[in-house]
Structure 1
Amino acid sequence: MDYIVPGTCTDTEFRKMWADFEWENKVGVITPIIDLRQYLEHLSAQTNMKLLTTDAALEGDCGFLAANFCAHSIFGEDALANVSIEKSDPLDTNSPIIGHIRIRAKSQGMALSLGDKINHAQKERKPVERSKTVSSA
């Protein structure tokens, strides 16, 4: 999105804006990506939204995570996203990611356009291939 640039805000500012923003768009997570952290990185790269959640908060491998993102438009509008994802089967490293993304903005257009961008980005990414056992014949 050419008119979106990564944004920054404190936790307090995020919560205040989240409460103040009138428009919300909820997007279901449907992706071939099977790694939770890789999904967040892909989402950030494709939407130009900055991941606000610290690396320390995302450490470990527990099968679920929640993270916050922030962006600004070149028109001076802020947009926020809250991502809540998990592995559909935490015991299977190849299980799909499920969850949802809630996008909030002051304008309906911003919330809807970010949702469309996220839906498109989820579909264009090829799944990560895990190491395969090769048998010789």
Structure 2
Amino acid sequence: MDYISPATCADVAFRTMWAEFEWENKVAVNTVIQNEKEFLSHIVKSTNMKCLTPPSALEGECGFLAANLYAKSIFGEDALVNLSIEKQGDGKLSGYIRIRSKTQGIALSLGDKITLKQKGTV
């Protein structure tokens, strides 16, 4: 993901963009990683995005994890990701990674990258 870099934005700005952006790519979680935080870390590293969800909101062990990620492309376009996962009874993670952007290209290429990279380990 050479053309995007981690960036920050306020929660209100993230929610506004999420509501306005037309393109969404929904990728099902399919990984051998069994720890929610480890999987989040792997996705952040693989996509070159910044996790906007504060660490305090990710503390504890409850079997669920939801986090928002954000990045900007070298062309000034915003890339938004919402990761929502749940630990199943067999220890596997399930859920979805939703990508939203103003343009189709970023949503599709980020989705392809996540599909390829999510199976790996950190």
- What is the distance in 1 between the residues matched to 2:85 and 2:97? 8
Give per-residue Cα distances to partners, 1:51-100, cap 9 Å, x unaligned: 000010000000001100001000110010001101011xx6xx111000
- Segments of 5+ residues of structure 2 without an aligned counterpart are none
Specify which of 111, 115, 121 is matched with residue 115 of structure 1: 111
Give per-residue Cα distances to partners, 1:28-47, cap 9 Å, x unaligned: 00000000000000000000
Runs of 4+ in 1 over 2 A off after TM superposition: none
- What is the distance in 2 between the residues matched to 1:46 and 1:122? 8
Counterpart position of 2:49:
49
Q: Secondary structure at the match of 1:81?
A: strand
| RMSD across aligned positions (CA) | 1.1
1:99 counterpart = 2:95:
yes
Q: Secondary structure at the match of 2:118?
A: helix
Counterpart position of 1:87:
87
TM (norm. structure 2) is 0.97
Of structures 1 and 2, the larger Rg is shown by: 1
Give % identity: 62
- What is the distance in 2 between the residues matched to 1:42 and 1:23? 24
- What is the identity, as a one-letter code, of the residue corresponding to 1:75? F
- What is the distance in 1 between the residues matched to 2:43 and 2:94? 14
Query: How many residues in Structure 1 have an aligned counterpart in Structure 2?
Result: 122
- Segments of 5+ residues of structure 1 without an aligned counterpart are 129-137
1:12 counterpart = 2:12:
yes
Q: Secondary structure at the match of 1:75?
A: coil
What are the within-5 Å matches in structure 2 for residues 15-94 of structure 1?
15-89=15-89
- What is the identity, as a one-letter code, of the residue corresponding to 1:62? C
